[in-house]
Amino acid sequence: MFYYPQIFFILFALFTVCTNVLAEDTDYVFNPNDPHHSLYIPDAPTKAPAILLLHASTGIEKVNYDWATRLKEHGYVVFIIDSFKPRGWEDRRSVGWEKATQAQLDDVLPAYEYLSQLQFVDPDRIGILGFSMGGFDVLNVMESVQHDPKPYQQISFKAAASFYGVCHRLDKGTQLRANTKIFIGDNDDRSTTQDCIHLVNRSTDNHQNVSIQIYSDALHGFDNFEFPASKEVIDEKGEHYHIGFNEAARVQVLKDLPEFFDRYLKPQP
């Protein structure tokens, strides 16, 4: 009998914590004006095409701002959304893969709706771009679903670019819809490269405009200039993989990505 009050107290404390966490998730409402998000607007005389940018597991990094700046200078409105800090999270590790990816997916539709309503954005020319975890969520968004699609899978993005999205974590048999392209290194042991090739092949067999660009001697995160040439990482699931910057691959992808978006988001002569 002596221990019962202590047990009751512990159970009550656990119940309170779980209730607070669930309430926190349920109560969260995406705010496009949150200061953690960033909107890049080009100097354009007419309505411009736009790109929604999704960050990786570590949150928004310098490479994301660099890409946004370059794409803005190329004529695109770019909206970087932060799916962590507005929720009070530090990174994916602090909440787990499933919770982190679902939060980012939940942000996609309201972010798209915000972008499409901006007076300087052409709502018929909006694309999506994601890196690593964000690249995985781009693949989820662009999944070809015949029955009961999620709200974010009903968005008509005109072009989708997934940088080294984790293809092997998609459901078996997943196929993508047009127009989607995966950018990945041939030595990526995180995604992995071969799984992404299989994904693209399944999608093209279904007559979808889905493609892959593979960069020689490149690892996961090859375009991130803050990464060393190679570094082993162990995630919270115990998976071992490598990240690494590759200068030659970055130089090439700086040309390839704008060309991909231009093909579908800019009027062709």
| For range 117-135, the mean pLDDT | 98
Does 101 map to a domain? yes
**What domain count does the chain have?**
1
Asked if residue 25 is part of any domain, the answer here is no
Q: Which range of residues forms the domain containing residue 200?
A: 34-265
**Highest mean pLDDT out of 10-14, 38-42, 168-172:** 38-42
Strand 231-234 relative to strand 240-243, pairing: antiparallel
pLDDT at 55: 98
Predicted confidence at residue 73, as pLDDT, reads 98
Is 20 part of any domain? no
**107 found inside a domain:** yes
Q: Which two tokens stand for residue 204?
A: 């093209």
pLDDT range class, residue 165, cuts 50, 70, 90: very high
pLDDT tier, 26 (very low <50, low <70, confident <90, very high otherwise): low
Kindly state the percentage of the chain with pLDDT values over 90.
77
Rounded Cα distance, 223 and 246, in Å: 7
Helix (H) or strand (E) holding 181: strand 180-185
* Residues whose CB falls within 8 Å of the CB of residue 34, separated by 6 or more in sequence, listed in order: 82, 86
Average pLDDT on 196-224 reads 95
Range with lowest mean pLDDT among 17-21, 156-160, 256-260: 17-21
Q: What integer best gives the mean pLDDT of the chain?
A: 90
As a whole number of angstroms, the distance between CA 246 and CA 229 comes to: 7
Q: Which of these, 140, 132, 175, lies nearest to 157 by C-alpha position?
A: 140
pLDDT at 24: 46
Q: List residues bridging with 180 in a β-sheet.
A: 160, 210
> What contacts 153, CB < 8 A, 6 or more positions away?
140, 141, 142, 143, 145
Q: CA 110, CA 161: separation in Å to the nearest integer?
A: 19
- pLDDT of 13 higher than 70: no
The predicted pLDDT at position 22 comes to 41
Residue 40 maps to a domain: yes
The CATH number of the domain where 102 resides is what?
Answer: 3.40.50.1820
Return the pLDDT at 30. Answer: 95
pLDDT at 3 over 60: no
Tens of pLDDT, residue by residue over 57-110, are 999 999 999 999 999 999 999 999 999 999 999 888 888 889 999 999 999 999
pLDDT in tens, 218-239: 999 999 999 999 999 998 778 8
Residue 26 lies in a domain: no
pLDDT attached to residue 236: 79
- Supply the pTM of this predicted model: 0.88
Instruction: Enumerate residues 6+ apart whose C-beta is below 8 A from 210.
Output: 176, 177, 178, 179, 180, 181, 200, 203, 204
Do the Cβ atoms of 52 and 83 come closer than 8 Å? no
Give the pLDDT confidence score for residue 225 in this predicted structure: 98
Specify if 22 maps to a domain. Answer: no
Whether 200 is in a domain gets the answer yes
Name the residue with higher pLDDT: 9 or 200.
200
**Mean pLDDT (whole number) for 115-121:** 98
